Structure 1
Amino acid sequence: MQDQIDTRLMLQAYEKITTHGEEVPGDIDKMHRLEGVTAFSDFDGYTLYLQDAEVKLQTGFHNTYKLDYDTNRALDNFIRKLKHIVSSYD
């Protein structure tokens, strides 16, 4: 798997998680978790974060993003989770 994720998938997953997920306590206000993926934003809402136990994704302006993961398998599983969330929650 390449380090390429569709920006639309990221934004749709973020919206589904914050809408349908449970609010979780943390250092950051309004963190939500759904299907093992946590979503939150920075204080001004311009940078969005999605993460699970093995992958961290940060996305910002102009469809730029940064991925942090150890194995391709972890990234593949993370992308599958995002696709599942987007297709399963309305």
Structure 2
Amino acid sequence: MKNELDPSRVLRAYEMVMENGTPTEFGKIYEGLEAYSDYDGYNVFIRGNGVELKVGFHNTYHLEYDQEHLRDSFLKKVATLSK
């Protein structure tokens, strides 16, 4: 999975959620994806349906999931929002 994810597209999806989403305890939620950042903004997170994606400094990322089909569905949503 390494290098298959384009962090710039993830950041576009993050911005879409933050611009159009409904406030939550941590950030905002839109189209089933919740987006938020840490206190300094260096790390941004998008999560939904049992998957969490962290994009950090220098466009590093970490994707946590239990099942591949959930990961695939999550990444499709991220791709759709980043268009």
Question: How is 1:11-90 mapped onto 2 (pairs within 5 angstroms)?
Answer: 11-24=11-24, 26=25, 28=26, 31-87=27-83
Structure 1: 5+ residue stretches without partners: none
Structure-2 separation of matches of 1:32 and 1:83? 18
Structure-1 separation of matches of 2:64 and 2:78? 16
Normalised by the length of structure 2, the TM-score is: 0.90
Question: Would you identify which runs of 4 or more consecutive aligned residues in structure 1 move more than 2 Å?
Answer: none
Normalised by the length of structure 1, the TM-score is: 0.84
Q: What RMSD in Å do the two structures reach over aligned CA positions?
A: 1.2
Q: Secondary structure at the match of 2:64?
A: strand
* Amino-acid identity (%): 34
